[in-house]
Amino acid sequence: MELNRENLLEILSVVIEPDLKKDIVSLNLVELLEFDGDKVKLVVNVSNPAMHARKRMQEAIEFNLKRNFGSTLQIDCTVKGIPAESRAARRTILPEVKHIVAIASGKGGVGKSTVTANLAGGLAKAGYRVGIVDADIYGPSMPTMFDVVKDRPTMIDVEGKPMINPVLSYGIKMLSIGFFTDQDNAVVWRGPMAAKALTQMFTDAYWGEMDFLLIDLPPGTGDIHLSLVQTVPLDGVVIVSTPQEVALADARRGVNMFKMDSINVPVIGLVENMAWFTPAELPENKYYIFGRDGAKNLAEGMGVPFLGHIPLVQSVREAGDAGRPAVFQENSPTALAFEELVRTFVSNLNRLKEISAVNA
């Protein structure tokens, strides 16, 4: 095959970007392409900045070029990670969403969904465009927390294609498997069915332009989590834990899962929920019934950011049951705690973007 630009691009078009599921030419990931005699120089971007991902891309490019142009071809190939701020623009799924962030916990019952609902509410209060995907297939709780249990998504026509229009509450768009199932019946699905239902809430829904899409994951480290990271390139994950050791052990596993080379999702930080109990009649008192600073110490020990403490108070539970997240209360200690969490969350996410851009 003759060595020219047209033939080079033809060969490069068979190299697939594994996260974006398309070839590097159609995704416009070939930043530089030069050739002279039997020498080729190129610079290619990939969505995953990890060293192993860049190395695999380099090997795939060199293999395909030498197979078609000969083993004597000299190749100078540089593979770079896409800067965080441009990943949304390159996403094939939800390209109009600036940040997609998962909220996870290693253990059930630590208040992950409560943190998700209030983080979303706090972001909306701060003026951001926010959405929630309730990916807790077997225990969806967002419809209750936002008082939309009886609501159902509608269909909307988008450029001639029918798509799901998310439910809107407090200015927050949301989809939940709870909208498509009977509230009183258990969801008994095998892994592939649950993964397909989750995927459809991203691929078959119209989210529009958005600053943050939060994903409330089921507890644990199962196939739903793997399906998610294979479907949607996440910008980061928040881990929620309570302070006691039995929860911290699972939180530690959750952090390690997202740090795995095969997943490689940045950990934005840990949230310590139910950090202390404060009775309404003694607002200045703090009772550390689950232990003190467990998640904070875990974050420091694992080298990940700590996002803040959320107290265990009756009003948080009442707000969730009433369908109006506690962050919407005016100037209450709980609302102030969630508002501080929002500020720290946004600050840490922006810092991650800056680090990613520098390392790219």
Q: Are residues 287 and 178 in the same domain?
A: yes
User: 59 falls in which pLDDT band (50, 70, 90)?
Assistant: very high
| pLDDT tens track for 275-288 | 999 888 887 889 99
| Residue 355 in domain | no
| pLDDT attached to residue 174 | 95
| Residue 198 in domain | yes
| Residue 145 in domain | yes
Q: Are residues 12 and 70 in the same domain?
A: yes
Whether 265 shows a pLDDT value over 60: the answer reads: yes
Whether 360 shows a pLDDT value over 60: the answer reads: no
Buried b (16+ CB within 10 A) or exposed e, 90-104: bbeebeebbbbbbbb
Q: Are residues 202 and 217 in the same domain?
A: yes
| pLDDT tens track for 38-56 | 899 999 988 777 778 889 9
Percentage of the chain beyond pLDDT 90 is 46
pTM for this prediction: 0.73
What domain range includes position 25? Answer: 5-82
| pLDDT attached to residue 127 | 92
The tokens of 99 are what? 């940040």
Max CA separation in the chain (angstroms): 83
Selected residue with higher pLDDT from 259 and 125 = 125
User: What is the overall mean pLDDT for the chain?
Assistant: 85
The tokens of 204 are what? 């078959």
Edge-first strand order for the sheet with 130-134 is 167-169, 172-176, 130-134, 210-216, 97-104, 236-241, 267-277, 306-312
| pLDDT attached to residue 263 | 76
| Residue 358 in domain | no
Strand partners, 277: 287, 312
